[in-house]
Amino acid sequence: MGIALPTNTQTTGFFRRGGMHYRSRTYRIFSVFNIVFLLVLSAICIMPLIHILAVSFSAPAPANANLVRFWPVDFTVSAWEQTFGNQNFLRALWNGVFRTVLGTIISLVTITLAAYALSKEDREFKGRKMYMYALVFVMLFNGGLIPTYILVQNLGLINTIWALVLPGAVNVFNLILLLNFFRTGVPKSLEEAAFIDGAGHFQILFKIYLPISLPALATVGLFTMVGQWNSWFDGLIYLTDSTKYPLSTFLQTIIVQNDFSQLNVNPDEVKALSERTVRSAQIFIGALPIIIVYPFLQKYFVKGIVLGSVKE
């Protein structure tokens, strides 16, 4: 007599025999291929970063001759000394950090308040659907670069940090992600009980919604942080003073455009900045903050984006 298998064997990959649970051969083969594929994909993603780090610790001659692969050749820290000894780079690094922190805080505050209001039912928030239609419309269609620049100019924000953080403060995709989490991840009974006990909307938001919504907030915060840190184009068009450039705009100017005229540096510094090892050190430093922050938010990331994408 054959052994009957449970109906969910094909979906779970397990079957039971003699009181013990076993993995099917197909499931084991899939697991091996899945692990190998993810390891290869991870290696492909991390190898360029390792190469840049190796170049930054290599001597100029082998670096310029493309002799460096994944290990430094003629190890030296001169590129890092030149990088941290350059006041323009340190100033741009600080501007980038300040812009990222300020922009993330402003975005999280505005998106959280808007998501809380829009997560209510139509009977609680009259005109909610009209607001949602308007937000989705502006997410798909915007005024364009020139009207946006004219608006920023008329508001007097040119050459200020506000020109970098305010135009993109409310990201509609992140707003929809967070309001869906509020609608599906926060039990309605908790809110009703709080209203019965006399709590107001702000008390409910800060004492019930926010503690429960840490995964979604971490996800939205990570999206916002990466976007603010990597954004360079707005710095080029809105900032007229190169000393106010964030790091991404600074690196784009001196590495991609090879334009040193706006950086107020002397010829010796220009020569140093043009070396491949120094540029590699600066690129690695530019990527380092996000690499440091991501592991602390990673445990919330998958849960937040899945729970926040159930429905509108």
Both 297 and 159 in one domain: the answer is: yes
pLDDT of 32 over the 70 cut? yes
Share of the chain above pLDDT 70, in %: 79
Kindly state whether residue 47 falls inside one of the protein's structural domains. yes
pLDDT of residue 13: 55
Both 136 and 14 in one domain: the answer is: no
Both 198 and 230 in one domain: the answer is: yes
Residue keyed to tokens 């350059």: 86
| Mean pLDDT to the nearest integer, 85-91 | 82
Both 129 and 155 in one domain: the answer is: yes
Q: Which of 55, 76, 97 is at the close of a domain? A: 76
| Mean pLDDT to the nearest integer, 136-163 | 89
Kindly state whether residue 312 falls inside one of the protein's structural domains. no
Both 44 and 167 in one domain: the answer is: no
Q: What is the pLDDT of residues 166-193, one digit of tens each?
A: 998 888 888 988 888 888 877 888 888 8
* Integer Cα distance of 214 and 91 in angstroms: 33
Distances in Å between the alpha carbon of 308 and those of 24, 105, 173, 301, 304? Answer: 33, 20, 11, 11, 6
Both 112 and 195 in one domain: the answer is: yes
pLDDT of 269 over the 60 cut? no
Q: Which of 76, 100, 133 is at the close of a domain? A: 76
The model carries a pTM of: 0.73
Kindly state whether residue 1 falls inside one of the protein's structural domains. no
Average per-residue pLDDT in the chain? 78
* Integer Cα distance of 71 and 52 in angstroms: 10
Kindly state whether residue 299 falls inside one of the protein's structural domains. yes
Q: Give the chain's end-to-end CA distance (angstroms, integer).
A: 51
| Mean pLDDT to the nearest integer, 280-307 | 68
Q: Phi and psi for 146 in degrees, rounded to 5?
A: -65, -50
Both 139 and 266 in one domain: the answer is: yes
Kindly state whether residue 86 falls inside one of the protein's structural domains. yes
Kindly state whether residue 13 falls inside one of the protein's structural domains. yes
The number of folded domains in the chain is 2
| Mean pLDDT to the nearest integer, 224-241 | 89
pLDDT of residue 18: 52
Both 123 and 66 in one domain: the answer is: no
* Integer Cα distance of 49 and 274 in angstroms: 19
pLDDT of residue 274: 43
Both 183 and 292 in one domain: the answer is: yes
Kindly state whether residue 71 falls inside one of the protein's structural domains. yes
DSSP structure class, residue 166: S
Q: What is the pLDDT of residues 127-146, one digit of tens each?
A: 888 888 888 888 888 878 88
Distances in Å between the alpha carbon of 274 and those of 143, 166, 175, 247? Answer: 38, 33, 41, 16
Both 102 and 132 in one domain: the answer is: yes
Kindly state whether residue 45 falls inside one of the protein's structural domains. yes
Q: How confident is the model at residue 272 (pLDDT cuts 50, 70, 90)?
A: very low
Q: Three-class SS of residue 56? A: helix
Give the other-Cβ count within 10 Å of 109's Cβ: 11
Both 291 and 182 in one domain: the answer is: yes
pLDDT of 102 over the 90 cut? yes
Both 47 and 169 in one domain: the answer is: no
CATH code of the domain in which 263 resides: 1.10.3720.10
104: which residues sit within 8 A by CB, 6+ positions away? 221, 224, 225, 228
pLDDT of 305 over the 70 cut? no
pLDDT of residue 37: 92
Q: Which of 33, 61, 76 is at the close of a domain? A: 76
Where is pLDDT greater, at 227 or 275? 227
Domain that holds residue 94: 80-307
Where is pLDDT greater, at 272 or 183? 183
